A and B are shown apart, each in its own frame.
Chain A
């Protein structure tokens, strides 16, 4: 309730506690996952986005774990797709030179959705503050933060994919 009222310190303390609780819950339920950190962070983001939907007269745990379960399943599905993609990469036939070209930031950004790309360009390249970016895009600051986090995560996984391609091409040539 304090978090809903905008109390930063209480919110930080709550999220700290929840991060530990979520980690423990996921470890207990799924064992040591490769994407455990991603699952915890996705859950924290979802809790942040959903904080207005919590009704103080209802128990907290069902609300919390409904979101955590939902987000974890989404994240695990994404990880499975990513793994499938990685396995498919290993079956790739000899690679052409241009594929192993240095990572091109513009091309990587281009593979993000328009909303994520615009938010990243405004905040990380043009140097707008979260507030300014939110005003410019007509969205809330929370949404900007979530988009930046998602955009960076996506870029990170794209970079990993690029590195995998490079390694494969080095293997082929060497």
Chain B
């Protein structure tokens, strides 16, 4: 009996972790290529969550329907952001990038706070209480759908980087910036494209996260930190690492919430981060820089 419960907790952690992984994937892609640390990552995620909430509340659109259009919209936002604000900061000191994006994060959080207030806004899916029974496992339907969608999107992104010309060009920029410029790649445009892709992950993850948490402004900094922990645990710049890190953190959160207190769950994530940083500073699947 207890074993079945623990198994259920584990399954929940894995499913949640995959969605976290998709969000962190955005951060990893942006850092891996543009070398800018997006300290407003969680803030953008929460914007996507609120967008999903509004579209669901007023137009009765299912988050899974909203998913792709929202990802597309966030791609445009990311592209514009990179072109308008972030490009001049590429290659500048880390603390300068940090200030720029923290400024942006503060603006986002407080604008959301003014519009929606501090209360959490739940998205009450009609199938919120449906579940699948697989042997001793009983898993929530919304979580399963979200995790599945996250996996498909991550695979699509992976395929894009591996098999398309633009994807290959972006990888070239990440591997050798000077070389990429020498062979005539438009680095600035590719950077903007990459930032857009990273933000598309954020948009999609935001739409999927409403099945896991209620949208609230206070989630923003939590998610920024969460994305950082995941990416560092998995290895900055490694796409598979981001997903693996997401699953690890999801499982550690679920177990900590079950065996200890839900309020202590991020303590275990931070402990995991410290252990990984000390033992393997480049992350589990990260390459030596």
- A and B: real partners? no
Q: A residues within 8 Å of B by Cβ?
A: none
Q: B residues within 8 Å of A by Cβ?
A: none
